[in-house]
Structure 1
Amino acid sequence: MRYFDYAATCPIDDTALNIYHDVSRDYFGNTESLHDEGTKAGTLLEHCREILADAIGVESEGLYFTSGGTESNHLGIHSLAKAGRGKHIISSQAEHSSVHHALEMIEKEGFEVTKIPFTKDGFVDMDDLEKAIRKDTVLVTVQMMNGEIGTFQPIEEISSICRKNGIYFHSDCVQALGKLDMKAYTPLLDSFSLSSHKIYGPKGAGAVYLSPSVPLPSEVRYGSHEKGIRSGTVNLPGVAAFTAASQENIHQLCKHQEHFRHLRNLFRHTLLPVQDRIKIVGKTAAESTIIGMLVPGMEGQWTMLEANRRGCAISTGSACSIHQQTPSKTLLAMGYSEEEAKTFIRISFGKHTTADDVTALGGCLKEVIDAHHYVTRVKV
């Protein structure tokens, strides 16, 4: 099977896997325990915190390890919302499902949420965002890199607007880590989320950054771990493996970006024979690992299954929402109809993807599209 669903999850790196095994065996103590085994584990945890913080350009005291991107988004959004005095939050319509769920939960606590649409190019509509700001707006939350079409949002501009208006800014950076130079953007954020398995680390680990400059109220520090930010024993093997995977892939960023540019160009070339029967969605950066496509007249689920039957694993969108059988939130945010959105498929490359893989995928999709059009003509 040729794998093109790296935006959903990545295979674990050998280095990360070995570290996970070694730490599980040699650092089994609870990081909060006061005996020697606990102290040894706690020392390793703080070492990982410092390494990861340095790699992404933040203060280690604001970095907290979590179970993954979903928990990180919930903690970031909840903490910043409670840190301010207002009750109004602005988000985009195209956020990851974990952000939507976090916002639904906080609405039950009396907050009001305004969701901004995307432009046809796949970016948050900045005019609408500025118009949505109110005196009681406390937080803006916008994903850095869209997980369905790969567009990189205007983080600098959003941050500038937030700073000017005294509004906190949280960003879901799960898809961005390892694809962009995080050090260029983390100083612009008050909070952001990361996930291990999107960067060749193990599942069940992640991190949230909460800027030490944000005065967090005592009510958000209700846990017994990670300085009260969360409860539950820290997954130290996962944290260590996540840290190693992040460090390795950040160091290889330029190499990977060039690799992804080559794969994107090659993929577009392979689709030339059917270019009149597909549509690439959004204006994505050349080094983006994600390509969103519409195949008019063909449901995305059917296209995915036919590709799978031919040995290519692709997706119809976020792995956290596809089983709900709902159209892509990103496509709807861009103004596409539900029927159009149902024809959506997502291709996402990884560092293990080869030129041969991409050529094979192009041939696979051409075969699927040609077969569908042949059957359609026969029925007519």
Structure 2
Amino acid sequence: MIYLDHCATTPMSTEALETYTKTAQTFYGNEQSLHDDGDSASQLVHHCRNKLAAIVNGQAEGIYFTSGGSDSNITVLLSLAYGNEDRGRHIITSPLEHPSVYQALEKLKQEGFTVDEVAVKANGEVCLDSLAQLLREDTILVSICHASSETGVIQPLESIGQMLENIVFHSDTVQTFAKIPIDVKACRLQAISMSAHKLNGPKNNGACYIEPGTRWKGLYPHVTHQNGWKPGTIDVPGTAAFTEAAWAFHENRNEIAATWKDMQQWMLAELPGDVFSLFGDADKRLPHHLALRAKDIEGQWMMLECNRHGIAISSGSACKSSDSSPPRSLVAMGHNAASAHGLFRISFGKDTTYRELEKTVEVLQRIESSSAGTGAS
């Protein structure tokens, strides 16, 4: 199988696996226990906090561990909203977000919060003028992803941050953390969400960063773990493997991104433009991500046909609901339902080769050619 669905998940790297195994065998104490084994585990967790915070130019005490990206988004959004609701109950987001963001915001709407969505330009970037118009005196929270998992378009976080005064700014950076630069200070971000399994780390591991001093309220009473963040013993081996995987990307990200960008441009050049089209900005996008459409072919059918040929791609976010509605990000960009339903996503990993991409281009063209005139759409 040729695996080109790295925005959905990635295989654990050898280094992350080795780190997990060694940590599980050596640092098995509960990091809250007061004996030496507990203290060793606690020191390792503190080391991981330092390393993860350094990737985004943050502070170690702002790192809180979770069970992954969805958990990070839901927990941080609820915690920030509850911690600041005495100042207002208005929240702004975008139609580009991961489903977990909408799950959290839907709960908040049911509890009396008001949520508005910023408009999106045709190239997939949020409209800053629209954001400015939505800001109110009672706006307490803005949540805009760093890059949409569906479109791959990178959002202007620094410009957004400059617009927000006394408003908490959160970004879902699950698709970008350690892969492209994120500076929480430069972007004036108070909170971000991260996940391990998007960068060759273990599943069911993630983290949030909340800038120290930012107001938040824990979701559960009488919790002592992570300063009241959430109950449960920290997965120390998973946290160590997450940190190992993140640093492997961070230290080599320029080289990796350059390789991916070359692959991305090569693949676009090989696919005939009169048949295959790209959703979103061609330049302001994740270097390992292609959001494509083949003329008159549904994305899900393209995904199934590729799978039949031994190639794993995606027809959108792996966490999207199972209903038949088109991707809301593409509708917000101005695409009609038929066009939006054509989305299929190809995403590279560290070990992706040109030979695999050559085979994929060949298969995509074969599928398109064989489907012409057959009513595959």
Tell me the TM-score range normalised by the shorter chain: over 0.9
Residue 344 of structure 2: aligned partner: 345
User: Are 1:154 and 2:153 matched, yes or no?
Assistant: no
Length, aligned pairs only: 373
**Pairwise mapping of residues 22-37 of structure 1 onto structure 2 (< 5 A)?**
22-37=22-37
Q: CA deviation at 1:18?
A: 0.5
Q: CA deviation at 1:324?
A: 3.7
Amino acid at match of 1:179: K
User: Are 1:280 and 2:278 matched, yes or no?
Assistant: yes
Which of the numbers 90, 93, 98 marks the counterpart of 2:92? 90
Separation (CA, whole Å) in 1 of partners of 2:230 and 2:83: 16
8 Å CA contact 1:56–1:186 kept in 2: the answer is no
Residue 106 of structure 1: aligned partner: 108
**In 2 relative to 1, CA 339–187 (structure 1 residues): closer, same or farther, beyond 3 Å?**
closer
**In 2 relative to 1, CA 209–133 (structure 1 residues): closer, same or farther, beyond 3 Å?**
same
8 Å CA contact 1:156–1:185 kept in 2: the answer is no
**In 2 relative to 1, CA 124–170 (structure 1 residues): closer, same or farther, beyond 3 Å?**
same
**Pairwise mapping of residues 31-110 of structure 1 onto structure 2 (< 5 A)?**
31-84=31-84, 85-110=87-112
Choose 235-244 or 223-232, whichever is displaced more.
223-232
Separation (CA, whole Å) in 2 of partners of 1:348 and 1:118: 23
Amino acid at match of 2:149: G
Residue 176 of structure 1: aligned partner: 176
Choose 168-177 or 295-304, whichever is displaced more.
295-304
Which has more helix, going by share of residues?
Answer: 1
Separation (CA, whole Å) in 1 of partners of 2:50 and 2:83: 25
**In 2 relative to 1, CA 158–64 (structure 1 residues): closer, same or farther, beyond 3 Å?**
same
Residue 137 of structure 1: aligned partner: 139
Residue 237 of structure 2: aligned partner: 237
8 Å CA contact 2:92–2:117 kept in 1: the answer is yes
**Pairwise mapping of residues 296-311 of structure 1 onto structure 2 (< 5 A)?**
296-311=295-310
Cα deviation digits, residues 62-102 of structure 1 (max 9, x gap): 11111111111122212222232110000001210010101
**Pairwise mapping of residues 319-330 of structure 1 onto structure 2 (< 5 A)?**
319-321=318-320, 323-330=322-329
Choose 315-324 or 251-260, whichever is displaced more.
315-324
Residue 188 of structure 1: aligned partner: 188
Separation (CA, whole Å) in 2 of partners of 1:233 and 1:318: 30
Residue 314 of structure 2: aligned partner: 315
Could you tell me which runs of 5 or more consecutive residues in structure 2 were left unpaired when the two chains were aligned: none
Q: CA deviation at 1:35?
A: 2.3
Separation (CA, whole Å) in 1 of partners of 2:191 and 2:221: 16
Task: Quote the sequence identity (%).
Answer: 36
8 Å CA contact 1:224–1:231 kept in 2: the answer is yes
**In 2 relative to 1, CA 214–105 (structure 1 residues): closer, same or farther, beyond 3 Å?**
same
Q: CA deviation at 1:286?
A: 6.2
Give the structure-1-normalised TM-score. Answer: 0.93
